[in-house]
Amino acid sequence: MTDAPRLERYALVSLLAATLTIGLKGGAYALTGSVALLSDALESVVNLLAAGVALLALWIAEQPADEDHAYGHTKVEYFSSGFEGGLILVAAGGIAYAAARRLLSPQPLEQAGLGLAVAAVAAVINLVTAQMLVRAGRRYRSIVLDADAKHLMTDVWTSGGVIVGVGLAGLTGWRILDPLVAIAVAVHIIATGISLLRGSALGLLDTALPGDARGAIVSVLERYSADGARYHALRTRQAGRRRFVSFHVLVPGDWSVQRGHDLLERIEGDVRSALPDSTVFTHLEPIEDPASFADEPLDRRSAGGNHIDQ
């Protein structure tokens, strides 16, 4: 696919940004001894690992369908997003542990001004990278890039809170502010981790497309009712950027095979135009035959069920 190199370049940029921010935030921690800045640096380590997994996932997702993976490999993106969510939760646990220890034994901060300036540079790098990934994730409907963008934006807000908290601790001399800010950081990023895990789980469970996408499909199908066609058994799911749509089209039984085929070709083309990157499966049935309505559920009923038109 022509978009593959672009997506991989986005992941490489994220990888580079994570490497830079680890160095900057680690330096800020070394200058100040702030556990809050240490927590911020640990989150950037997670960013680096997540960016590496994202790069691998994007490469796998772009591999063409094969005999063992007839529907392609795009579902691997959900594993990448889930892995990132899990890493975030692990990082949150480490941050909370370090903060709890410092809470019991507060330590003075050193060179707070210089350390915070370094941390601010790292935050700007993450902000620019996150905005780039947000746009790319929306454009290409990539859950990998979207997850990376959300994580980086969480890192930006984390850095902002850390800078304010550590700055106040340095100005007021209230040492307890440093571990309290770190604990707040841990709680904040836990919410992001849970959100990413939830999105990944829904994708792996073949959750239906969102309402606006399903509405676009229904709009296309209902346009053909004037031609004597009906539909049922509409099912949708998404695997990364690829969307899958299936439905049955019911037409008068005296139509020729060619006429039915031509109708399906037009409907499938309209659905793909309304929802790019969609794979559309259709099934043609005679509207007069009760057996046509036996396979509306996922598991086919015996023939002779209720005759229901949509």
Encoded tokens for 38: 């240490």
Encoded tokens for 300: 């086919």
pLDDT value of position 284: 93
Question: Would you say domain 4-204 falls under CATH 3.40.50.10420?
Answer: no
Domain ranges for the chain:
4-204, 211-293
CA-wise closest residue to 284 among 208, 243, 233: 233
pLDDT value of position 267: 94
- Secondary structure element (H or E) that encloses residue 207, with its range: none
Encoded tokens for 283: 């099934």
Asked if the domains 4-204 and 211-293 are classified in one and the same CATH topology, the answer is no
Q: What is the dihedral sign for C-alpha 223, 229, 233, 236?
A: negative
* pLDDT one digit per residue (tens) for the chain, 310 residues: 444 446 778 888 888 988 899 889 888 888 888 877 877 787 788 778 878 888 888 888 778 888 888 778 878 878 877 887 888 788 778 777 777 877 777 766 677 778 888 888 988 998 999 999 888 888 887 777 887 787 788 778 778 877 877 787 777 777 777 778 778 877 877 887 888 788 888 878 888 888 889 999 999 999 988 778 899 999 999 887 788 999 999 999 999 999 999 999 999 999 999 998 899 999 999 999 888 888 777 776 654 444 444 4
Question: Would you say domain 211-293 falls under CATH 3.90.1170.50?
Answer: no
CA-wise closest residue to 112 among 59, 181, 57: 181
